[in-house]
Structure 1
Amino acid sequence: MIRNKLYHIIKLIFLVLPFRSFAQHVELLQQNKPVSIRGLSVVDDKVGWVSSAKGYFAVTTNGGKSWYWQQIIGFEKSDFRDIEAFSAKEAIIMSSGTPAVILKTVDGGITWKVNYRKDDSLYFLDAMDFDSPKHGLVMGDPINNKFLLMETKDGGDSWKPINGPDALKDQAAFAASGTCLTVTGLPTIITGGSSAEIIIKNYSGWVHRPLPLLHGQNHQGVFSVVTNKKSLIAVGGDYKNDKRRDSTACYSVDGGLNWHLAYSFPSGYQSCVDVIKDNILISTGTAGTNISTDGGKKWTQIDGQSFNVCHKAKHGKLILLAGDGGKIGVLKN
């Protein structure tokens, strides 16, 4: 009898254990603001920044409990789709649309300096990423069949064009969360539209490889990529049919040479993916938020709310999410 009870207790423990890692949930911090947030940068467990449409940004210095919102004078019509922050004082912000601008603040957003501006409507900036406080890249939609690419080596004070990869007809990147570009490891771009590709710059130049995600229409493709040691994980889908789950996540374990579809997909269209730790990842989109505990092979939905972007702190454990309606959330265990 005792042996039977012990057996059932052990069996119950092993049944419960696999689900313990999915105890995470998203807790809303604020919402109901007339802006769409797509830019997010989390510095540490206290400091985070968001950027949005209508020229707004916000910063928190207490882990998201309260936010200081401000509209940047002279840029009230700008759609700031990406932001990179380095402290509670220093941040760089990028707009998508015309004019294409990159601004920088060193006083917590009280003043902003325009370090790049193009009024030509051909210039549409999609994403920005830094691998150090001094070095970063900004990419934009193709011009003359080449993706626009610019580099800074002085912390965003100046930007110089560099040779970007070739683009196919009707191929583009998505300014959905500022994560269609990463410079962690090798500079990497992911695309959608006519072709879902990953484009990686190595010693010989730009290397194009197809990805097995939804594509073919201008609202389908790969929206976000993250590097996790030798692995890469990409997510996307169809933002006009955001509940469609098939072919919305894939992964590579050999530095991007070979790609595999996830065994089980996220809850639908995903616009951002990030690493929590080790092989644990978070992805989000208008179809909800999902967790993978095996490097992107299998995904489980943990929240059904719509978000556009998610990021873990560069120096800490804080994980924030943001989306339409000024919505900001935090991942809780």
Structure 2
Amino acid sequence: MMKNFFKYAVVAGCLLFNLGVNAQSITLLQQGNATSIRGLSVVDDHVAWISGSKGTVAKTTDGGKTWDWQQVKSFEKADFRDIEAFSDKEAVIMSSGTPALILKTTDGGASWKVKYSNADTAYFFDAMDFADKKHGYVLGDPINNKFVLMETKDGGETWSPFKYLPDALPGEAAFAASGTCLRVDSTNEIDIVTGGQRSRHLILIDDKIAPGKWVKIDLELLHGKASQGAFSVANGDGTVIVGGDYQKDGLSTSVAEYWYPIDEHSGAYSLANKPPSGFQSCVEYISERTFLSTGTPGSNITTDGGKTWAKIDDTSFNVCRKAKHGKLVLLAGNGGKIGIFKP
């Protein structure tokens, strides 16, 4: 009798999990604009900005229902791979390619001012993130075996090289796929995930505690080719890292890894027991143990901190982000595609 009770309890638990996953959905809001969107910043439940190829930027002030699109004047050929917004008036955009650019608006996109420009073809920016409204960073591919890391302490008005540049191994780089291979939190912890010949998680916890000491963790994610590795990291109730091979996006082997605590002083990394459905270019913390990931094969959800994943949508997206102050979760991708996640 007791054996049957446990069997039914397990079945019931699985049914409840599946019902919870099935309740998650993604609704398409916009598509058809000739731009590839990779930059997405959701300020609150009303305001969000996107950035993409062909100098494209767009803003919503009604939670994604309508969008105000523009091509930034004089930068129509720029590929704005990341954006950081602070309100409906203030935002910073970052361009990959040559020249490497950082622009800022304080009037809602009516005008943009160049805050950094570098015509050196060795510079290729991958991602941008801010600890708060004033303190932010831009990550670039390695030069002379050091990752490029630019820092601002005045809200993007001025930029300078960070004093502690992380070492890069031969054939190692970062991916400008969703702006989330770099994460910075309110404590100023810096997280970087890499790919190529090696896949690593680089962490600078606090330069006041251990100045310049980067923690370097080798990952088990797929790597060894220029198209493979870790593409995105998210911290919440644990840490989740996703990636894979964007040239073979249907491969689901070794595309997600998660950190879990062993005791109050340590933890370990492990590949997902049930991985996402294929290559994932972005992962975002939602709440509790729930993370959302997305990529060209579709979007996936985990409710156990990255251990097991379930596919919830087949639509191709590049990036997914949750509101800094609120619950709104948006996704964006190629062809001006924008979607909304409903928990």
Q: TM-score, normalised by structure 1?
A: 0.94
For residues 21 and 105 of structure 1, the distance between their equivalents in structure 2, rounded to whole angstroms, comes to: 41
With 195-204 and 280-289 compared, the bigger mean Cα shift is at 195-204
Contact 1:291/1:299, CA 8 A, preserved across alignment: yes
Give the secondary-structure state (helix, strand or coil) at the position aligned to 1:253: strand
Q: Does 1:193 align with 2:201?
A: no
Gaps of at least 5 residues in structure 2 are 1-7
- In the aligned structure 1, how far is the partner of 2:125 from the partner of 2:90? 21
Match of residue 58 from structure 2 = 58
Deviations 1:194-229 (A, max 9, x none): 100011114151121101100000000000001115
> Distance in 1 between the 2:183 and 2:295 partners?
19
Unmatched 5+ stretches in structure 1: 1-8
Aligned AA for 2:282? C
SS of the residue corresponding to residue 19 of structure 2 reads helix
Tell me which of 250, 259, 268 is aligned to 1:243.
250
Compared CA separation, residues 256 and 122, structure 1 to 2 (3 A): farther
In 2, Cα distance between equivalents of 1:145 and 1:330: 39
Q: Which residue of 2 aligns with 1:224?
A: 232
* Aligned match of 2:4: none
After superposition, where does 1:19-98 map in structure 2 within 5 Å? 19-22=18-21, 23-98=23-98
Which moves more between the two structures, 251-260 or 220-229? 251-260
| Amino acid across the alignment from 2:235 | T
Structure 2 Cα separation of the partners of residues 125 and 278 of structure 1: 32
Q: Any idea what the Cα deviations from partners look like across 1:9-50, whole Å, max 9, x if unmatched?
A: 999865532223211111000101111000000011110100
- Aligned equivalents of 2:19, 2:134: Cα separation in 1: 40
Q: What value does the CA root-mean-square deviation take over the aligned residues?
A: 1.7
Cα distance in 1 for residues equivalent to 2:9 and 2:136: 51
The separation in 1 between residues aligned to 2:165 and 2:78, in whole angstroms, is 25
SS at match of 2:45: coil
Do structure 1's residue 311 and structure 2's residue 321 form an aligned pair?
yes
Report if the CA contact (8 A) 1:209-1:257 is conserved: no
Q: What's 1:174 paired with?
A: 175
How many residues matched?
324
Change (3 A) 1:152 1:256: farther
Q: Report what 2:103 is aligned to.
A: 103
Structure 1 residue 63 displacement after superposition: 0.5
State the one-letter code of the partner of 1:220.
Answer: Q
How many Å separate the matches in 1 of 2:9 and 2:94?
54
- Structure 1 counterpart of 2:216, from 196, 208, 211: 208
Q: Give the aligned partner of residue 3 of structure 1.
A: none
Which residue number in structure 1 is paired with residue 282 of structure 2? Answer: 272
Counterpart mapping for 1:151-162 below 5 A:
151-162=151-162
2:3 aligns with none
Counterpart amino acid of residue 193 in structure 1 = G
Instruction: Give % identity.
Output: 57
Residues of 2 paired with 1:90 and 1:213: CA distance? 37
Structure 1 residues 245-269: Cα deviation after superposition (integer angstroms, max 9, x where no partner): 0100001124996310011000100
- Aligned equivalents of 2:260 and 2:13: distance in 1? 28
Shift of 1:305: 0.7
Shift of 1:232: 1.2
Residue 320, structure 1, aligned to residue 330, structure 2: yes
| Match of residue 5 from structure 2 | none
* Conservation of the 8 A alpha-carbon contact between 1:42 and 1:313: yes
Q: Could you list the per-position Cα deviations for residues 64-90 of structure 1 after superposition, in whole angstroms to 9, with x for gaps in the alignment?
A: 000000000111110000000011111
- What code does the residue aligned with 1:216 have? G
Counterpart amino acid of 1:244?
L
Do 1:57 and 1:70's aligned partners in 2 also have CA atoms closer than 8 Å?
yes
The 2-side partners of 1:239 and 1:327 are apart by 19
**SS at the partner of 1:40?**
strand
Q: Distance in 2 between matches of 1:261 and 1:172?
A: 21
Offset from partner CA, 1:220-245 (integer Å, 9 cap, x none): 0000001115x211000000000000
SS state of the match for residue 282, structure 1? strand
